[in-house]
């Protein structure tokens, strides 16, 4: 299957700082990537759709100014959590849509964020 990586795998930061998470599709080009958040013992919640070369589309209730998404190339999307607070602590997961496999999304390993 297709490979998607995330960096970093975990990060600890102080409240008020910004954190950037990278998502890369390693063996295919992805015009569309997605960002999810998952709290303990809960399901994944779609946050936004990242479109290469255009603005991201955010799901209802997700603050676009707090979760900045940039999709500057066909293999890289970044999520920046701005002015992070403890309630932003979560598991952030990205996925990339493989254009050669119509509906299939491949997920990254996730990034654990802990805001102190």
| Chain positions contacting another protein, by CB under 8 A | 1, 4, 6, 32, 34, 36, 43-46, 49, 91, 93, 95, 97, 101-110, 112
Supply the minimum distance, in Å, between the C-beta of residue 82 and another protein. Answer: 23
Rank residues 45 and 68 by Cβ distance to another protein and give the closer one. Answer: 45
Helix (H, G, I), strand (E, B), or coil: what is residue 58? strand
Rank residues 84 and 108 by Cβ distance to another protein and give the closer one. Answer: 108
Give, in order, the Cα–Cα distances in Å from 41 to each of 37, 61, 69, 99: 12, 21, 26, 31
Do residues 57 and 71 lie in contact, with contact meaning Cβ atoms separated by under 8 Å?
Answer: no
Rank residues 14 and 41 by Cβ distance to another protein and give the closer one. Answer: 41
Give, in order, the Cα–Cα distances in Å from 14 to each of 65, 84, 106: 19, 8, 31
Supply the minimum distance, in Å, between the C-beta of residue 7 and another protein. Answer: 13
Supply the minimum distance, in Å, between the C-beta of residue 19 and another protein. Answer: 18
CA distance 11 to 85: 13
Could you tell me how far CA 84 lies from the centroid of its own chain?
15
Supply the minimum distance, in Å, between the C-beta of residue 83 and another protein. Answer: 26
Rank residues 28 and 82 by Cβ distance to another protein and give the closer one. Answer: 28
């Amino acid at each position: 299957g297709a490979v998607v990586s995330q960096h970093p795998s975990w990060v600890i930061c102080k409240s008020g700082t910004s954190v950037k998470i990278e998502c890369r599709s390693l063996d295919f080009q992805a015009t569309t990537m997605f960002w999810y958040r998952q709290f303990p013992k809960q399901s994944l919640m779609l946050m936004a759709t990242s479109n290469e070369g255009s603005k991201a589309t955010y799901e209802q209730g997700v603050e676009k100014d707090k979760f900045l998404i940039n999709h500057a190339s066909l293999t890289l999307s970044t999520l920046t959590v701005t002015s992070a607070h403890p309630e932003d602590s979560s598991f952030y997961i990205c996925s990339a849509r493989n254009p050669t496999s119509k509906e299939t999304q491949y997920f990254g390993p996730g990034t654990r964020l802990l805001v102190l």
